[in-house]
């Protein structure tokens, strides 16, 4: 059974993520203990809330160093604010320095953007939306149809410098990065643990992923 360390720094949606991973066959430890993380096969890095508070929680728990070390050693999945934290800086809270693992920044949705019907978008982007997989043959997308629905809750989006790392896009007034795959690092702006069948399939694919 795949052992997964679910990183706890006081800001993650831990219960629902743990339950979803357990449902697809993983053995989950909710932890910020570097020894437990080191012993795990894979790591899941969740996040909810404001970026500044998340970064403070990460640094106080030592999770920032754990994530930096882990991305070079084992498969890592980052979810929502966890994905945003991987970049260099977020415009949230007047500008917040992030982990700098990925090149690029996190930007706010522009409330003047309009949808396909010409209506201005609501911020935060909350609810179901479709994604288009750019790497549809990647094992992480196994069993997931293009334009599958996933659940989003966010006011900010990732703007990577290297578009070759973008694994899926979503449209909300403008196309934005919904997922990134880089080597053994997988990140989603949406919440797989809240996305029913497609989300559970994606989590199962991560549990089974051989890097």
DSSP state of 85: T
**CB contact set of 18 (below 8 Å; sequence gap of 6+):** 6, 28, 30
Give pLDDT, residue 33: 87
Does residue 80 have an active-site annotation?
Answer: yes
CA distance 151 to 193: 9
pLDDT digits (tens, 9 = 90+) for 19-55: 999 999 999 999 988 889 889 999 999 988 889 988 8
Alpha carbons within 13 A on the beta-carbon side of 113: 18
> What pLDDT score does 64 carry?
85
Q: What is the pLDDT of residue 200?
A: 98
Tally of structural domains, the chain: 1
Per the structure block, which two tokens stand in for 63?
């999770």
* pLDDT average, residue stretch 192-197: 96
Residue 60 falls in the annotated catalytic set:
no
pTM of the model: 0.94
What's the chain's average pLDDT?
A: 93
Q: How far apart are CA 118 and CA 164, in angstroms?
A: 30
152-166 average pLDDT score = 96
Alpha helices, H only, the chain: 14-23, 34-39, 51-61, 63-70, 81-84, 196-208
Question: Which candidate in 15, 54, 80, 196 is catalytic?
Answer: 80
Q: Contact at 8 Å (CB) between 161 and 173?
A: no
- pLDDT of 67: 83
CATH of the domain at 17: 3.40.50.880
Q: For residue 193, indicate whether it is catalytic.
A: yes
pLDDT at res. 151: 98
Q: State the pairing for strand pair 42-45/174-182.
A: unpaired
Adjacent-strand bridge partners of 187: 78, 180
* Structural domain boundaries enclosing 32: 3-208
| CA distances in angstroms from 42 to 45, 73, 202, listed in the order given | 10, 9, 15
Q: How far is CA 100 from the centre of its chain?
A: 15
Say whether 202 sits in a helix, a strand or coil.
Answer: helix
Q: Which residue has the higher pLDDT, 146 or 13?
A: 146
Question: DSSP readout, 33-76?
Answer: -HHHHHHSSEEEE---S-HHHHHHHHHHHTHHHHHHHHTTTS-E
The active-site residue, picked from 133, 154, 170, 191, is 191
Q: Which of 54, 158, 177, 193 is catalytic?
A: 193
Which backbone phi and psi does 129 adopt, to 5 degrees?
A: -150, 160
């Amino acid at each position: 059974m795949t052992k997964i360390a679910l990183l706890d720094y006081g800001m993650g949606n831990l219960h629902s993520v743990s339950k979803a991973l357990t449902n697809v066959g993983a053995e989950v430890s909710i932890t910020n203990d570097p020894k437990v993380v080191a012993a795990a096969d894979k790591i899941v890095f969740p996040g909810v809330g404001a970026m500044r508070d998340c970064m403070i929680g990460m640094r106080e728990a030592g999770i920032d160093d754990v994530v930096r070390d882990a991305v070079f050693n084992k498969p890592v999945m980052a979810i929502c604010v966890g994905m945003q934290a991987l970049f260099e800086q977020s415009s949230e809270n007047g500008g917040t320095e992030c982990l700098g693992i990925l090149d690029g920044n996190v930007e706010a949705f522009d409330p003047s953007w309009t949808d396909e019907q010409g209506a201005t978008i609501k911020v935060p982007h909350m609810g179901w939306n479709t994604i288009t997989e750019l790497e549809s043959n990647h094992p992480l997308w196994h069993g997931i149809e293009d334009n599958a629905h996933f659940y989003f809750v966010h006011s900010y989006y990732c703007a990577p410098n290297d578009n070759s790392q973008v694994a899926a896009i979503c449209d909300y007034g403008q196309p934005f990065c919904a997922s990134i795959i880089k080597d053994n690092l997988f990140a989603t702006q949406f919440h797989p643990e809240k996305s029913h069948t497609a989300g559970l399939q994606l989590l199962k694919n991560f549990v089974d992923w051989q890097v």
